[in-house]
Amino acid sequence: MTSRKSRVIRLLWLAESLLLVVAVLAAAWARFLNDQAGFDYFISNAPLRAVVVATFITVSMAAFGLYQVHVRLNRLDFVLRLLMSFAFGGIALLVLYYLVPRVYIGRGVLALALALGMAGVLLLRGLLLSALGVDAFKRRVLVLGAGANACLITSRLRRQADRQSFVLVGFIPAPSQPVQVPEDQLLATNFGLAEIARWLHVDEIVVAVDERRGGLPMAEMLTCAQQGVEVSDLSTFFEREAGMVRLDVADPSSLVFSGGFDHSVPRRLNKRLFDLVAASALLLVAWPVMLLVALAIWHESGGPIFYRQTRVGLNGRPFELVKFRSMRVDAEQDGVARWARRDDDRSTRVGRFIRMTRLDELPQLFNVLRGEMSFVGPRPERPQFVDMLSQEIRYYDVRHCMKPGLTGWAQLRYPYGASVEDAAEKLTFDLFYVKNHGLMFDLMILLQTVEVVLFRRGAR
């Protein structure tokens, strides 16, 4: 079962370790191409030095999840994690060389070895995927249950892009519970769960029964767990595979006991440092554009350049959000809060452009610097909408346990929302971020936000 996947990962680690050793030797050969004496001196301790480099880099890759089959990565995520792995591994090597000069390989050799090693890892993984097929590195998932909850897997994760990290081997109906899954996806139930899992080389069993009381074969599930098969509930499975917390299958106990919600001091410090660095860097780059936008707004209508609006922030506390004004001054003269609509007739000509390009959001960098917002987090809503949505959608207040963000996971995964239904759908992604936020996740969201801005997805 999982031992088969473990063997694949061990072989991959061994192959990449050897590749990194070869990269160090090739870098030394290139560096000392015209210096035979220098090359001979390097080679005298080459095995130890090369193994040290390979060890540090592969340990760093493991720390960034590149040897875990259950981590769901797209190409951008993989490349980013690989870059971070080599960067952190390289920094760790420099510290080691300072402490233990004997294993030092030189800056030129190290830089070239890291470049060759990264290119080699990319090439090797590409060749392995072509030779073995994508499914060789995917977990084999068996679903216990065949009713309404089980159908959520096929309806929500039906595309190939949604199944990047797993292969669905079939469904086992729960006794005395309705069957809604297509018959061709059902498995025979005249064998034990552990036997079926062993025969089909199952790596994970997802419990998706409609009614748990009296409907779970606990003894069989315990046997599977003892054999190395992971047993997950439906909420955890959706959270990992779809990057969302399904409101219709999550209950308070699953949110409480599933971990996450990291608000430790190290996390608060690195998030604040990330906010300050990212906001300051963007402000230094964008201030000429902000000046042009301000002049354009003033030239078109002569009214206020900035638009200030009360939004709900951390722990439900209100704050004043600042944006470039994109609508007429009398857009809400009756005092009634309204969601923005597609082709909103309240927008000015300049306003339509800056909303489409998201330039209207740039003044919020000052909210980030003041500590009222974070660079990445759930988008802040107006108090009127928060009061309404908190009554309509359960768990809506959970998103306020952290600072709102200039960009966020929900903005990347769901288009601009303008209804209660849209807000409920976006909340599934906001809850995922609130539970799983971290520095690496923030970096990925920041990079993917660049794509959203360039291709104008989700703006109104």
For residue 104, the model assigns a pLDDT of: 85
Q: Report the greatest alpha carbon distance in the chain.
A: 84
Q: Which amino acid is at 191?
A: F
**Backbone torsions φ then ψ of 164, nearest 5 degrees:** -70, -25
β-bridge partners, 166: 139
Q: What is the residue extent of each domain of the chain?
A: 2-131, 138-242, 265-329+337-455
For residue 215, the model assigns a pLDDT of: 67
Helix, strand, coil tally for the chain in percent (to 5) = 60, 10, 30
User: What CA–CA distances, in Å, run from 393 to 28, 85, 152, 260, 426?
Assistant: 61, 40, 20, 21, 11
Length of the chain measured in residues:
460
- 3-class secondary structure, 255: helix
pTM value is 0.74
Give the DSSP H or E segment for 424.
helix 420-436
For residue 460, the model assigns a pLDDT of: 47
Give the DSSP H or E segment for 205.
strand 204-207
User: What CA–CA distances, in Å, run from 40 to 37, 43, 118?
Assistant: 5, 5, 26
For residues 373 and 380, is the Cβ–Cβ distance under 8 A? yes
- Sign (positive or negative) of CA dihedral 406, 412, 417, 420: negative
pLDDT digits (tens, 9 = 90+) for 77-123: 788 889 989 999 999 999 999 898 888 888 888 999 999 999 999 99
User: What is residue 347's DSSP assignment?
Assistant: B
Joined together, the tokens standing for residue 226 give 């003892």
For residue 161, the model assigns a pLDDT of: 60
The pLDDT tens digits along the chain (460 residues) read 445 566 777 888 999 999 999 999 888 888 777 777 666 656 666 778 889 999 999 999 887 878 875 555 667 778 888 998 999 999 999 999 989 888 888 888 899 999 999 999 999 988 877 666 556 667 889 999 999 999 988 888 876 666 777 889 999 998 888 899 988 899 977 888 999 999 998 989 999 998 877 668 889 999 999 988 999 989 889 888 888 888 878 877 777 777 778 889 999 999 999 999 999 999 999 999 999 999 999 998 877 899 899 999 999 999 999 999 988 776 665 556 666 655 566 778 888 898 888 899 999 999 999 999 999 999 999 999 999 999 999 899 999 999 999 999 998 888 766 688 888 889 999 999 999 998 888 988 887 787 667 655 544 4
Domain 138-242, CATH number (from 3.40.710.10, 2.30.140.10, 3.40.50.720, 3.30.930.10): 3.40.50.720
What is the secondary structure of 112-123 as a DSSP string? HHHHHHHHHHHH
Q: How far apart are CA 378 and CA 359, in angstroms?
A: 19
For residue 335, the model assigns a pLDDT of: 55
Query: How far is residue 186 CA from its own chain's centroid?
Result: 32
pLDDT digits (tens, 9 = 90+) for 132-149: 655 666 788 999 999 999
Q: Which amino acid is at 207?
A: V
Neighbours of 151 (CB within 10 A): 19
Give the DSSP H or E segment for 451.
helix 439-455
